Amino acid sequence: MNVSSVKQGSRMGVIFSTIVFTLTVGVATAGMAQSNPVELTPPSSLGSEETVMPVGDTPVRQSPSASEVQIQNLAGINLDTIGVLSPDKGGFNRDLWYGMDRQELENLLVKLSVTTSSPATRDIMRRVLLTGADVPEGENGKLVTIRAKLLADMGDFSGVARLMGALPGMVSHKELLRIEVDTRLLTGDNARACELAQLYMADESSSYWQKVFIFCQALGGQHDAAALGVSLLHEMGARDNVFYTLIDHLAVGGKVPVIDSLSDPKPLHLALARAAKVRFPSDTIESNLPGVLRAIAISPNASTELRLEAAERAEVAGALPVDALRQIYASIQFNQDELSSPLANVTRRSGPMSRALLYRASLMQTVPSAQAIALSRALTMARSGGRYASTARAFLPVLSRVTPSSNLAWFAPEAIRAFLITERHSEAMAWFETLKQGAENNKKLTNELTSLMPIARLSGFAGAMDWDLKNLVLWQEIIKKSTEDKDVARNRAALLGAVFDALGNVVPNEYWVPLVAGPERLGVLAPHPALWFRLNAAAERAHVGETILLSLVIMGNGGPDSVETAVLHRLLTALRTVGLEKEAREIALEAAVSAGL
C-alpha cells in the first residue's frame, strides 16, 4: 500500500480517535487490575511470577478519569515557576535562579547526571528540581518539563507525582503527559497510564501514543482493535521488533518468545514484557537509568542475578528503597553448604550474590562474633567495589544487633565507619567507647582509632569534636606506614587536607611539607575552563542556583570522588560561599569515604 506519510498520519489519527472510545475506563481498569502496585514481600523465590513493588515508592497523584478532566486556560500561568518545595520544606528560595540567563539555565539542567551514586549530590539535585522559583522569561512549560524528566530518569517517581500534582488542572502538555505515562508504566500502574493514553489519543497520532494505546487495548482483551493498530503502524514504517513480538504474544499466547537483546529498554517495553511474562535479556541492565533499573529489580521477568544487580545499582542511585533491597537479599535461595560456610563460598559468587549470601548468613547467625565476621567481609568487599555506603545501609539491621564488647574491639573501626556513613551516631558512640578502651593497651587499635578521627570529625560525630587538626600530622604518618602504595597514601592525605581546608579549618603547614615529595603532575581529567570560571563568578556573586548547577555538572556521574582534589576543593569552597555549609560537609565526607579513608 503506497500512502503518503501525511495521509497516513491523518488516516491513523481518524481511526484511533474513532476507536479510542471503545476502551472505556471501566473495561480498562477491569482488564488491568492485576497490574496495580502491590506491597513488596519476600517471594518464595526470585523465579516466581509474583509482582513486587516497594512500599511507599509509587506515584501518589490521582489521575482523573476521562469524564473528570478539565483542560484549563493557562494564559498568565507560568508553569516553570511551580514547585512543591520551599525553604521551610527543604527547598531553596524563590530567587534560586537570580542572575542566570535562560539559555544557560536550560543548558545546565539538561547536563545534570541522573546516574550519580552520590547521595549528597542527588539530594541537592532533587531539591533544586522540586523547588518553586522565579525563572527568566522563555517558552512556558519547557523548564518544568526538563525538571520532571530528570526526576523520572532519577527514579524519583514520588517526586514526579508531586510536581505533576502541583500543576493547575490537567495540563494539555504532550511531553509532561508522556513523562507521567512512562512513570506509570515503570511502576506497574497500567490502569492510570491507559486512562491518560485514552485522553490524549483523540488528538495525537504519534507512534509513541499509538503503541501505548495498542498495549492498553491488548490488556483490555480488545485484540482485534490492537491488531488493526499494529497493521497501521507497519504501514507507517514504524520499526520496533520488540514491541511487535510482545504485543503478538500478549494477543495470541502460545510459546513464550525469547527477546535476544533489549539494551535500551523503554518503559513500554518493560511493561509489555511484564504483562506477557517474557524474560528480560541479560543486556537489559545496560541501561543505567535508575528508573529503569528499579523496574528491572522489582520485576519477576528477570533472572535472579539480573534483578539483584539492578536492585543494588538502583539503591545506590536512590531509586530503590533500601528495605526493598534487603527483601530481595532475603528472598534468594542458597544451599545449606553455602549458608553454613559463607566465607568459603563468597568468592565463587558475583559481588551482588556474595553480599546476598553474607546477608542471609548474618541473619541466621546468633553468635555475635560470627555476625561480625560476616559483616566485616561484606563491608570490605563493598569498599573495593565502590558500594560501601549502600552495603552499610543494607546491612544496618544486622549491624545494630551486634552488641559492642571487648572481644569485638577488632570490629569496632568497621562498625564505627558504617554507623557514621549511615548517620547513626548514637550507635557509633558505643563502638567508639569500645575502641578507645581497647586502644589503651593495643598499639594496633591505637592506630585504628587515630585513623578514624578525621572521618569522624568530618561527619560531625560528637566524639571527635575535641580532636585537634594538629593531629593530622600523626594521622599522616600512620596512613603512610599502613598503606603499601605510597602514591595512594600521598593522594589520600592531600584529599583529606584539601577538604578540611575547604570547610574552613586551619590545616597545619607542616602537614603539606612531606606531600611535596613525589610526582609533580597528576594525569586527571579537568573540567572545561568555561565551567571553572563560571563557577568562580557565580559563587562570588552569590548566585545560589548557578553555583549548585555548575558544581553538579562538574562532578558528573561519579560524584565528588570523580574529580581531582584541587577541583573538589574549589567546589566545596564555592558551595560554602553561597551558604551551603551542610551540603559541602556531606560531599566532603563522601569524597573521603570513597577515597578509602
φ and ψ of 131, to 5 deg:
-75, 135
Residues 6 or more apart from 234 whose CB is under 8 A from it?
Answer: none
**According to the model, what pLDDT value does residue 521 have?**
59
CA quadruple 68, 73, 76, 81: dihedral positive or negative? positive
**According to the model, what pLDDT value does residue 59 have?**
44
Rounded CA separation 131/404 (Å): 43
**According to the model, what pLDDT value does residue 170 have?**
53
In DSSP terms, 85 is beta-bridged to: 131
Residues composing the chain: 597
Residues 6 or more apart from 123 whose CB is under 8 A from it?
Answer: 586
- Tell me the three cell numbers of residue 317: 542511585
CB 435 within 8 A of CB 441: no
Triad 413, 416, 417: Cα angle to 5°: 85
**According to the model, what pLDDT value does residue 547 have?**
96
- Tell me the three cell numbers of residue 500: 578540611
In DSSP terms, 131 is beta-bridged to: 85
* Residue recorded with cell 542471609: 360
CB 535 within 8 A of CB 551: yes
**According to the model, what pLDDT value does residue 49 have?**
32
**According to the model, what pLDDT value does residue 4 have?**
35
**According to the model, what pLDDT value does residue 75 have?**
53
Write the DSSP string, 133-146: ----S-STTHHHHH
Residues 6 or more apart from 594 whose CB is under 8 A from it?
Answer: 386, 388, 559, 560, 561
- Tell me the three cell numbers of residue 208: 509513541
Q: What CA–CA distances, in Å, run from 357 to 336, 352, 367, 370?
A: 11, 9, 17, 14
pLDDT 10s digit of each residue in the chain, 597 long? 333 333 344 344 434 444 443 444 333 333 343 333 333 333 333 333 333 333 334 444 444 443 344 444 455 688 999 999 999 999 999 999 999 999 999 999 999 999 888 889 999 999 999 999 999 998 888 999 999 999 999 999 999 999 988 988 655 678 888 999 999 999 989 999 998 888 776 556 688 888 998 999 998 888 888 888 888 888 888 888 999 999 988 887 778 888 888 888 999 999 999 998 889 998 988 888 999 999 999 888 888 889 999 999 999 888 999 999 999 999 888 888 888 888 888 777 778 888 999 999 888 888 899 899 999 999 988 887 778 889 999 999 999 999 999 999 999 999 999 999 999 999 999 999 999 999 988 989 998 898 888 889 988 888 888 888 888 888 888 877 777 677 778 888 888 889 999 999 888 888 888 887 766 656 566 788 888 899 999 999 999 999 999 999 999 888 888 888 889 999 999 999 999 999 999 999 988 888 777
Alpha helices in 112-266 (DSSP H): 119-130, 142-154, 157-166, 174-186, 190-201, 207-219, 223-236, 241-252
For the chain, give every domain's residue range: 5-261, 334-402, 404-467
Model-level pTM? 0.83
Share of the chain residues as helix, strand and coil, in percent rounded to the nearest 5: 65, 0, 35
Rounded CA separation 16/10 (Å): 10
Burial 362-373 (b: 16+ CB within 10 A, else e): bbebeebebbbb
HSE-up of 182 (CA within 13 Å, CB side)? 22
Name which of 570, 579, 453 is nearest 501 in CA terms: 570
**According to the model, what pLDDT value does residue 9 have?**
41
Largest CA distance in the chain: 89
Name which of 401, 416, 303, 396 is nearest 352 in CA terms: 303
Rounded CA separation 149/163 (Å): 11
CB 452 within 8 A of CB 413: yes
**According to the model, what pLDDT value does residue 321 have?**
93
Q: What CA–CA distances, in Å, run from 39 to 20, 30, 43, 130?
A: 32, 20, 11, 27
Residues 6 or more apart from 492 whose CB is under 8 A from it?
Answer: 479, 483, 595, 596, 597
In DSSP terms, 224 is beta-bridged to: none
Rounded CA separation 21/63 (Å): 18
CB 583 within 8 A of CB 407: no
φ and ψ of 494, to 5 deg:
-65, -40
In three-state secondary structure terms, 255 is coil
Rounded CA separation 231/248 (Å): 12
Rounded CA separation 178/220 (Å): 21
Name which of 249, 246, 250, 252 is nearest 266 in CA terms: 246
Q: Using CB atoms within 10 A of its CB, is residue 21 exposed (0-12), middle (13-18) or buried (19+)?
A: exposed
In three-state secondary structure terms, 264 is coil
Q: How does DSSP classify residue 202?
A: T
Rounded CA separation 312/306 (Å): 10
